C-alpha cells in the first residue's frame, strides 16, 4: 500500500486550497471543495474495507452510491490544509444506503465534512447528468465577485453579459454564462437543491451576497473558471463609477464565440 501523503489527488487538493487561501477567496473557514475520485486510485493508498466511522450526509444521494470523495472539513481553515491534511480533509465513500459517508481517511480530530456537503453532492449529481467527466465542485468568496453582488442586478442574463464585456476571454471560458441565486440560508438542503438545478445549465453559480459555486473536470478547470469570473468582476468594480468610453460590443462577442467554436448563450446577447 502506498503512502497516501504521496497521492497525486491529495497533492492537488493541498495546492488548490493553498492557492485559494492565498488569493483571499477563502478567509477563515470560508469555502469548501469536494473532489470525486476513482476507486482504483483510492485503492492504491487505502484499504477499502477499513471504515473508520460512518457519518450521515443528511439526504439521499442514490446516483452517488459507491463513489469516493475527498472533501474539506467543517470549520477548517484552508491555510492549515498543507500543514495537516489528515485533520483538515477527509476521504469517504457514499454507502450503499445512499445516506451515509463511510470515512476511510482524515477528519482525525473526530471532525466531519463541510456543512455544505449536501450542496456539493447535489451539484455533483446534477453535473454528472450533463458532463460524466465532472469531478470537482468548489465554493469560495472571491472579493470582487462578492462586491459586484451589491451594485449589480442579480439576474443571470444581465450579470453574465456584464462579465462577458469585461474581458475578451470570458465568453470563451464560460460561454453558457453564470447562474444566479438570491441570498439563501447556507448549509441547507434547500440551497443545495437550488444550486444543483442551476448546475444542470451552468458550471458556475453565484450565491447572492455570499460567493460562487463552480464545477469542472479537473481542479484547474474549476479554479480557472472562478479566476476568470473574479478578474472580470474586478475590472467591473474598478470601472463601474467611471464613464465608459469603450466596451466589447455584442456583435464582437458573437464573433469571438463563433471563432473559438463554443456553444454560447445567444439569448444573453442583444443581437
Report the number of secondary-structure helices (H) and strands (E) in the chain.
10, 9
| 116 assigned to active site | yes
> How wide is the angle at C-alpha 20 spanned by C-alphas 14 and 26, nearest 5°?
115
Q: Which of 116, 156, 227, 234 is catalytic?
A: 116
What secondary structure does DSSP assign to 192-244, as a single string?
A: HHHHHHHHTT-SEEEETTTEEEEEESSHHHHHHHHHHHHHHHHHHHHHTTS--
Among 208, 224, 217, 72, residue whose Cα is nearest residue 150: 208
Contact criterion met (CB below 8 Å) for 137 and 127: yes
User: Could you count the other beta carbons within 10 Å of the beta carbon of residue 141?
Assistant: 18
Cross-strand bridge partners of residue 101:
55, 94
Q: Which residues are catalytic?
A: 116
Amino acid at each position: 500500500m502506498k503512502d497516501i501523503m504521496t497521492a497525486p489527488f491529495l497533492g492537488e487538493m493541498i495546492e488548490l486550497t493553498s492557492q485559494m487561501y492565498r488569493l483571499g477567496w477563502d478567509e477563515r473557514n470560508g469555502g469548501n471543495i469536494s473532489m470525486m475520485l476513482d476507486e482504483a486510485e483510492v485503492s492504491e493508498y487505502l484499504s477499502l474495507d477499513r471504515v473508520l466511522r460512518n457519518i450521515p450526509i443528511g439526504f439521499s444521494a442514490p446516483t452517488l452510491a459507491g463513489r469516493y470523495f475527498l472533501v474539506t472539513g467543517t470549520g477548517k481553515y484552508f491555510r492549515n490544509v498543507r500543514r495537516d491534511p489528515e485533520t483538515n480533509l477527509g476521504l469517504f465513500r457514499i454507502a450503499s444506503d445512499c445516506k451515509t459517508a463511510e470515512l476511510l481517511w482524515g477528519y482525525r480530530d473526530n471532525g466531519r465534512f463541510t456543512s455544505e456537503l449536501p450542496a456539493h453532492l447535489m451539484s455533483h449529481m446534477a453535473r454528472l447528468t450533463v458532463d460524466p467527466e465532472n469531478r470537482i465542485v468548489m465554493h469560495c468568496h472571491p472579493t470582487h465577485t462578492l462586491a459586484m453582488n451589491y451594485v449589480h442586478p442579480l439576474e443571470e442574463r444581465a450579470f453574465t453579459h456584464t462579465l462577458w464585456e469585461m474581458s475578451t476571454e470570458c465568453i470563451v471560458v464560460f460561454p453558457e454564462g453564470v447562474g444566479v441565486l438570491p441570498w439563501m440560508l447556507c448549509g441547507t438542503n434547500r440551497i443545495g437543491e437550488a444550486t444543483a438545478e442551476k448546475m444542470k445549465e451552468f458550471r458556475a453559480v453565484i450565491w447572492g451576497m455570499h460567493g460562487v459555486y463552480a464545477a469542472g473536470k479537473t481542479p484547474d478547470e474549476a479554479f480557472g473558471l472562478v479566476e476568470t469570473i473574479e478578474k472580470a468582476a474586478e475590472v467591473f468594480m474598478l470601472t463601474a463609477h467611471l464613464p465608459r468610453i469603450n466596451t466589447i460590443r455584442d456583435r464582437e462577442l458573437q464573433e469571438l464565440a463563433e471563432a473559438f467554436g463554443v456553444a454560447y448563450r445567444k439569448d444573453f446577447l442583444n443581437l
